[in-house]
Structure 1
Amino acid sequence: MSTDFQHAREALGRRLRELRGGQTQRALAAVLGWPQAKVSKLETGRQTATSDDMRAWARATGHSALADELVGRLQGLEFGTRSWRRQLSAGHRPVQDVLTIEYERSTRLRAWEGAMVVGMLQTPDYARAVFTRYAELHQSPRDVEDAVLARVRRQELLYRRGRTFHIVLWESALYAAVASPEVMAAQMDRLTSVIGLDTVRLGIVPIGARVGIPPANGFWMYDDRLVIVEDWHAEMWLDDAATVGLYSRVWETLASAAVYGTPARRLIARARVQAADGR
């Protein structure tokens, strides 16, 4: 069993414990007709649940409406290619919670994104616009506010010592008007504010900069153990050493074309002016 799978299973267990609330394990086991040991193992991540287990748990704890969420979280335990259709069957919040585990486990985080501002640096309004559009695209449950809250809470990691975030954006990502001019202008202010944080190094690859390879899909690297790549139909979790090494070379190549500090501020300021002019 992979360590990543186990951590995700433990996260599911914490959610189950949260739904149990003040009910004792023994009382819940009696309602479900299970041994108390099974309840304990599911809550501590020592046993993998089934979809029927998740639905039964939701009913027995008085949260029947959350059955699909629990099933979606269970399906999200799989590694490799994770289709958005399956992952988003219970909405965006469960996906965000699973990702938070990887952020918390990691000390060196690197990102490349050429299409939009990365989630760790998004304002709530910008994130709301992104989640709304993806929910429309995938026709998934509308849990946008819960997803925004989960994303904003994860951003607290930016201010905790012990982690470094080296994030590289293509300049074109600053101009992708996924939200209103007011929201875009505020998002540019947010980017400017993180430049100079001890834990964050933000680079912008200027349009027209010479790059060693064509920019492609966005991805995150979690230490040297995991890469998560997003595509339209699925999210790919890649953890074999050769693939991680490949993405590390890709990231280094793109990062070397970026500008930092004052030059990056200038590019962001230029994008802010255009956003403001669009009002």
Structure 2
Amino acid sequence: MSTDFQSARVALGARLRELRAEAGLNGKDMAERLGWQRSKVSRLETGKQTATAADLTAWAQAADAPAEAADLQSRLRGLESHQRSWRRQLASGHRAVQDRYVAEYRHTTTLRGYEATVIPGLFQTPDYARHLLIRNAELMQSPRDTDEAVNARMKRQDVLYEADKAFRVLIWEGALHVLVCPPDVMAGQLDRLVGLIGMSTVSLGIVPLGARLKITPKHGFWIFNEDRVIVETVNTEFTLEAADDVALYARVWDHLDEGAAYGPQARRLIGRARASLGYA
């Protein structure tokens, strides 16, 4: 079973546990309401068993939260394939996707990433994230659960402060200048990036405009624990686990890294982007 699949199943189980607790029920009470064995409730909540669509509908009813059934069904569909349509994943909003990433990052020790058009979610400020999520909800015509999604995205960042983690992230300089939010929000986001430079768990490189590179800047991608890659397109999220695919993306990252700026030079590039907004 892939770690990606299991992380999503654990996140689904955590949401089931939340709904039960919000209804004021313990595990025994829930099992009695559903007519199940207590062990099944436990397995679903801990991510040791995959719920069926009928299980999730029954759970929402038993937790006195029938309106949550659609969200639970959306999370279940996210388990089905390594090629996940954003339209299906976002059928009930963004929070489910963010919760899955929280679980994913908790099980990740090393992460190498590259973004060409956006500040990575792992480094986003709440205000910057809010504007991105609103724009994306408009694009995908998905339900608005912006506050919940922002909170979940910020929770993902807890891993930055865990000593056993290592995050090596590259950002194409152009992403520092893309205004998908008001200038003051972008200035705050750039300040956040500067603050990350020098963290013991973070290695942040900026690939400058005009850098001499062996390859052209590609789409964003993330290499988790050197054994799988996640790639996001406009309409789909792909998880690649074949050794050849992982090795290919590792080489792309290495080539981009050769032209990246770090430390003081990275600070200057971020400062230049901030100055272009009219902030000294």
CA contact 2:27–2:38 (8 Å) conserved in 1 = yes
Distance 1:123 1:7, change over 3 A: closer
Partner residue, 1:11? 11
CA contact 2:102–2:155 (8 Å) conserved in 1 = no
Partner residue, 1:138? 140
SS in structure 2 at match of 1:15: helix
Q: Distance in 2 between matches of 1:124 and 1:6?
A: 28
Where in structure 2 are the equivalents of 1:61-210 lying within 5 Å? 61-210=63-212
SS in structure 1 at match of 2:222: strand
Deviations 1:32-81 (A, max 9, x none): 23333332322232321122221221121012221111111111113421
Deviations 1:234-261 (A, max 9, x none): 1111111111111111111111110101
Q: Distance in 1 between matches of 2:244 and 2:148?
A: 36
Following TM superposition, by how much is the alpha carbon of 1:97 offset from its aligned partner in structure 2, in angstroms? 1.0
Worse-superposed segment, 195-204 or 57-66: 57-66
Gap runs ≥5 in structure 1: none
Following TM superposition, by how much is the alpha carbon of 1:26 offset from its aligned partner in structure 2, in angstroms? 3.0
Q: Distance in 2 between matches of 1:15 and 1:42?
A: 10
CA contact 2:111–2:226 (8 Å) conserved in 1 = no
TM-score normalised to structure 2 length = 0.95
Name the amino acid aligned to 1:5: F
CA contact 2:108–2:165 (8 Å) conserved in 1 = yes
Partner residue, 2:261? 259
Structure 1 segments, 4+ long, off by >6 Å, are none
CA contact 1:185–1:276 (8 Å) conserved in 2 = no
Name the amino acid aligned to 1:15: R
Deviations 1:9-39 (A, max 9, x none): 2221122122111313332223223333332
Gap runs ≥5 in structure 2: none
Deviations 1:128-154 (A, max 9, x none): 010000000001110111111111121
Deviations 1:67-117 (A, max 9, x none): 111111111113421000111112111101111222111111111001011
Following TM superposition, by how much is the alpha carbon of 1:126 offset from its aligned partner in structure 2, in angstroms? 0.4
CA contact 2:92–2:142 (8 Å) conserved in 1 = yes
Q: Distance in 1 between matches of 2:81 and 2:256?
A: 27
Worse-superposed segment, 163-172 or 37-46: 37-46
TM-score normalised to structure 1 length = 0.95
Name the amino acid aligned to 2:178: A
CA contact 1:29–1:39 (8 Å) conserved in 2 = yes
Worse-superposed segment, 88-97 or 72-81: 72-81
Q: Distance in 2 between matches of 1:53 and 1:138?
A: 28
Following TM superposition, by how much is the alpha carbon of 1:221 offset from its aligned partner in structure 2, in angstroms? 1.0
Q: Number of paired residues? A: 277
Partner residue, 1:223? 225
Following TM superposition, by how much is the alpha carbon of 1:267 offset from its aligned partner in structure 2, in angstroms? 0.6
CA contact 2:53–2:76 (8 Å) conserved in 1 = yes
Worse-superposed segment, 233-242 or 73-82: 73-82
